[in-house]
């Protein structure tokens, strides 16, 4: 606590001092001279360079779990496996590996910001979390000339064990993600290119969750430092590398040619070894797994998935209508360490996209894609100041992990049908002087739904499933003439699962995110400030459990995740280009008790976190 207070005081002093010095000089470079676009905006001729974000709104939500609106299960620590609570349909209609638990920690091509800078731009973000949970993100970008920009972003996650650490440096997670990128526009020809290379190396010590000493005491799960765990030597290692290139040439406004190249290699490794027996005669190896198909004293498994795709297409603007048509070839390969299912293949796609804009007040989009073999997707979106409606229908290929697998603890070979899903989302935006009401509905149906059952075996449901969510955002403001005051923001979702296979989908009936905070400026209106409470609650349900040996979440009936409410106290501040937040995470958690995020995995205990962001423009 003293270290946090010292760092905060020191950095605040330095930032205020810099502000005083800068006030006597003319600031030439800053957020207003640094802007960015994305590949999707360039691809769809919606290039709108945005200036860098300088808001402190929700600055305290800087972890992956909080940025998602807490709509994922994790394992109670930074950098651990993630699973979407509301079963969002996948984006790809072709084959994928199905190993997705750690994929969100890697940089994705659609997330990369391509900058246009008038001066070198450096952004440093540091999350110093209690319990030695840390996140560091360093970004750099600069223009070589007015038509060429280079940059990189590097992110490091380190997190100590929150359960049963053996020392103050007993790491559970060490992950590094990197992306280097460039954007080039020819000075005389109508040609541009965007390219990036991304990599991730993510290592996690898998503990299997807390192991109670008795069957009756819930508090045995919340001993943290003194907890007993289920695994001792297990670890997951995920490595991803990706090359991505976009280029286009403009022949006329109505006709442009473009090309997208993408190569991705994904390696998943799991290791575990039998060690000495733990307390109570528990064997961390033989007592955790149900089967041993190869070795009875050690496990080493590896899968490698590669994909290489080339997409060519043409696009253009005709009055207020934009169109794009394309063809894509995607070569894929998949194999395990001790088993090669012989799944080398080439997928052939055809697709299109169209958009109609009316005075930036109303937009309609439509898209369709077909994969030779029967998979497809199509959908559309209507957006305006008043309403947002989107629809998506898709039939996608079953990921490899559900079809074929052979390892030390599991084996299956399935011939599952393609999964068919429909998703309809709607929202109404009603804004008034002192409050906002945004009711929304989400309907998602599945046919041939695939899942892992209680025995950690993949299954395909024979009956349909419908997930219906109703709710919305309900926000109140109590402001003075300076637009300072209290805000109450609430997101409430009520969800029902119906259909003949509804028992295979587990979603909490009620879900809540809320912030009650004051926003304004201090010190003669120089320092923007937010402080208040950030809360989250959900009703009880039988959440999916986690099988680390295959990185998959599966159905279970043994442990109901009881309803809980977790709240953070926070203060966010900004001085010139320096941002910081202090957060008392889960301050309402009782001593020697808590809540679960995943069966056997207690949520993060009460800690104090410090978050810093600093931008440099020269």
Dihedrals φ, ψ of 39, to 5°?
Answer: -65, -40
Q: Tens digit of pLDDT for each residue in 541-599?
A: 999 999 999 999 999 999 999 999 999 999 999 999 999 999 999 999 887 788 999 99
Q: Which position has the token pair 């208040």? A: 532
- Look up residue 550 and give its two tokens: 């295959």
- Position 167 scores a pLDDT of 85
- Position 25 scores a pLDDT of 52
CATH of the domain at 459: 2.40.170.20
CB of 164 closer than 8 Å to CB of 229: yes
Q: Per-residue pLDDT averaged across 101-109, rounded? A: 95
Give the per-residue SS3 of 149-217: EEEEEEEEEEEECCCCCCCCCCEEEEEEEEEEEEEEECCCCCEEEEEEEEEEEEEEECCCCECCCCCCC
- CA nearest 600: which of 206, 264, 59, 274? 206
- Mean pLDDT computed over every residue of the chain: 92
Residue 67 confidence class, pLDDT cut points 50, 70, 90: confident
Is the pLDDT at 5 greater than 70? The verdict is no
Number of domains in the chain: 1
Distance, in Å, from the CA atom of 382 to the CA atom of 584, rounded to the nearest integer, reads 40
Region class of 525: left (phi > 0), else alpha (psi between -120 and 50), else beta:
left
- Position 520 scores a pLDDT of 96
Q: Which position has the token pair 């560091």? A: 136
CB of 324 closer than 8 Å to CB of 354: yes
CB of 580 closer than 8 Å to CB of 613: yes
Q: Provide the domain limits for residue 534.
A: 2-616
- Position 215 scores a pLDDT of 59
- Position 21 scores a pLDDT of 44
- Position 217 scores a pLDDT of 62
Q: Tens digit of pLDDT for each residue in 142-180?
A: 999 999 999 999 999 999 999 999 888 899 999 999 999
- Position 487 scores a pLDDT of 97
Is the pLDDT at 394 greater than 90? The verdict is yes
- Position 398 scores a pLDDT of 96
Instruction: Count how many Cα atoms sit within 13 Å of the Cα of residue 494 in the half-sphere of its side chain.
Output: 3
Distance, in Å, from the CA atom of 82 to the CA atom of 467, rounded to the nearest integer, reads 20
Neighbours of 434 (CB within 10 A): 10
Q: Which position has the token pair 């009875």? A: 296
- Position 278 scores a pLDDT of 82
Residue 359 confidence class, pLDDT cut points 50, 70, 90: confident
- Position 23 scores a pLDDT of 47
- Position 4 scores a pLDDT of 44
Distance, in Å, from the CA atom of 547 to the CA atom of 550, rounded to the nearest integer, reads 6
Please report, rounded to a whole number, the percentage of residues in the chain having pLDDT higher than 90.
81
Residues 6+ apart with CB under 8 A from 55: none
Terminal CA-CA length for the chain = 34
Q: What is the dihedral of CA 507, 510, 511, 513, to 10 degrees?
A: 180
Residue 13 confidence class, pLDDT cut points 50, 70, 90: low
CB of 381 closer than 8 Å to CB of 425: no
Q: How far is CA 387 from CA 381, 504, 532, in A?
A: 10, 33, 30
Residue 15 confidence class, pLDDT cut points 50, 70, 90: very low
> Could you tell me which residues are beta bridge partners of residue 273?
298
Residue 502 confidence class, pLDDT cut points 50, 70, 90: very high
Q: How far is CA 542 from CA 410, 507, 593, in A?
A: 24, 8, 19
- Position 212 scores a pLDDT of 83
Residue 340 confidence class, pLDDT cut points 50, 70, 90: confident
**Strand pairing class (435-447; 465-479):** antiparallel
**Global confidence as pTM:** 0.91
Q: Tens digit of pLDDT for each residue in 178-223?
A: 999 999 999 999 999 999 999 999 999 999 999 987 655 677 788 8
- Position 375 scores a pLDDT of 97
């Amino acid at each position: 606590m003293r270290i946090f207070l010292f760092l905060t005081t020191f950095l605040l002093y330095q930032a205020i001092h810099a502000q005083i010095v800068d006030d006597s000089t003319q600031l030439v470079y800053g957020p207003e001279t640094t802007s960015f676009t994305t590949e999707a905006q360039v691809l769809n001729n919606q290039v709108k360079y945005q200036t860098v974000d300088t808001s402190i709104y929700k600055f305290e939500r800087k972890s992956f779990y909080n940025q998602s609106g807490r709509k994922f299960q994790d394992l109670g620590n930074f950098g651990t496996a993630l699973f979407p609570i509301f079963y969002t349909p996948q984006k790809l209609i072709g084959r994928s590996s199905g190993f997705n638990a750690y994929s969100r920690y890697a940089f994705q091509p659609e997330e990369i910001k391509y900058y246009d800078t008038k001066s070198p731009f450096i952004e440093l973000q540091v999350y110093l979390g209690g319990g030695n949970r840390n996140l560091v993100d360093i970004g750099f970008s600069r223009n070589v000339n007015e038509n060429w920009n280079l940059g990189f972003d590097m992110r490091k996650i380190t997190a100590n064990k929150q359960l049963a650490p053996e020392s103050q440096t007993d790491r559970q997670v060490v992950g590094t993600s990197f992306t280097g990128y460039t954007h080039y526009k020819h000075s005389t020809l109508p040609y541009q290119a965007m390219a990036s290379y991304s990599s991730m190396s993510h290592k996690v010590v898998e503990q299997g969750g807390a192991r109670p000493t008795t069957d009756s005491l819930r508090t045995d799960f919340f001993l943290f430092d003194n907890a007993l765990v289920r695994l001792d030597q297990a670890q997951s290692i995920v490595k991803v590398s990706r090359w991505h290139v976009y280029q286009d040439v403009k022949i006329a406004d109505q006709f442009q040619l473009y090309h997208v190249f993408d190569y991705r290699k994904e390696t998943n490794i799991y290791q575990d070894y039998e060690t000495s027996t733990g307390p109570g005669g528990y064997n961390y190896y033989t007592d955790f797994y149900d089967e041993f198909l190869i070795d009875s004293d050690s496990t080493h498994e590896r899968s490698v998935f590669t994909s290489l795709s080339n997409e060519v297409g043409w696009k253009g603007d005709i009055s207020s209508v934009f169109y794009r048509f394309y063809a894509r070839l995607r070569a894929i390969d998949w194999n395990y360490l001790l088993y090669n299912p012989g799944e080398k293949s080439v997928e052939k796609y055809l697709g299109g996209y169209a958009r109609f804009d009316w005075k930036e007040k109303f937009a309609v989009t439509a898209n369709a894609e077909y994969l030779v073999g029967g998979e497809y997707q199509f959908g559309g979106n209507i957006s305006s100041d008043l309403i947002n409606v989107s629809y998506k229908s898709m039939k996608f290929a079953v990921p490899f992990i559900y079809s074929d697998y052979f390892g030390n603890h599991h084996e299956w070979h399935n011939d599952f049908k393609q999964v068919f899903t429909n998703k309809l989302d709607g929202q109404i935006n009603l804004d008034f002087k002192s409050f906002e009401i945004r009711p929304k509905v989400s309907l998602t149906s599945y046919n041939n739904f695939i899942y892992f059952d209680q025995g950690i075996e993949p299954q395909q449901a024979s009956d349909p499933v419908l997930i219906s969510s109703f709710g919305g955002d309900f926000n109140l403001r109590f402001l003075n003439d300076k637009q300072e005051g209290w805000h109450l923001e609430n997101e409430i979702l009520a969800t029902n699962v119906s259909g003949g296979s509804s028992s295979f989908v587990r979603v909490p009936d009620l879900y809540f995110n809320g912030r009650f905070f004051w926003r304004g400026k201090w010190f003669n209106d120089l320092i923007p400030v937010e402080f208040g409470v950030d809360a989250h609650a959900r009703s009880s349900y039988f959440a999916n459990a986690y099988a680390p040996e295959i990185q998959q979440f599966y159905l279970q009936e043994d442990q109901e995740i009881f309803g809980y409410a977790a709240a953070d106290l926070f203060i966010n501040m900004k001085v010139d280009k320096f941002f910081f937040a202090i957060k008392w995470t889960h301050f309402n958690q009782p001593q020697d008790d808590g809540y679960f995020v995943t069966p056997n995995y207690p949520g993060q205990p009460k800690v104090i976190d410090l978050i810093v962001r600093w931008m440099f423009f020269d």
